[in-house]
Amino acid sequence: MILFEEPITDIKDLIPQKFPFVMVDTLLGFSETNLISSFKILETNIFFNNHVFSEPGLIENMAQTVALHTGYDYFLRGETAPTGYIGSIKKMELYKLPELHDVIQTEAHILQEFMGVTLVEINVFNVEKVKIASSLMKTVIAS
């Protein structure tokens, strides 16, 4: 895993999602099978409700971390990031919801990739490096 000396904050062309539906804001590290993103929870976020970043927001953050991996990989090859979607969530564990101004780090580890379907293990951590959520997710590149 290569951790960038200078994190990449201009990710708008690396993922297909657009404001206000962007749930990742920084690319911290990348390898062929791994990616680390971060995201600061703001009051203006559409998934911020009752003083916390909600479960659907965390799921979308996980999926967009996978999309960021795909998008950065395509960027390195000089290609446009593809659109994709969540195919399934096999396992989701939630330990704590992030609160206002928390910065979460999401780590995606690609377990298997075949014909546009990616099986990914994803873990989300708070700034103290305590795991707050995890999932096993399949994402699919739209054809």
DSSP-derived 3-state class of residue 66: helix
Contact assessment for residue 106 and residue 60, using Cβ atoms and an 8 Å cutoff: no
CATH code of the domain in which 77 resides: 3.10.129.10
What domain count does the chain have? 1
Structure tokens of 1?
Answer: 């895993």
In which domain, by residue range, is 41 found? 2-141
Contacts of 20 (CB under 8 A, 6+ apart): 44, 45, 46
Residue 143 pLDDT: 67
Residue ranges of the chain with per-residue pLDDT less than 70: 143
Residue 112 pLDDT: 95
Contact assessment for residue 81 and residue 13, using Cβ atoms and an 8 Å cutoff: yes
Report pTM: 0.95
Contacts of 118 (CB under 8 A, 6+ apart): 66, 70, 110, 112, 138, 139, 140, 141
Residue 5 pLDDT: 92
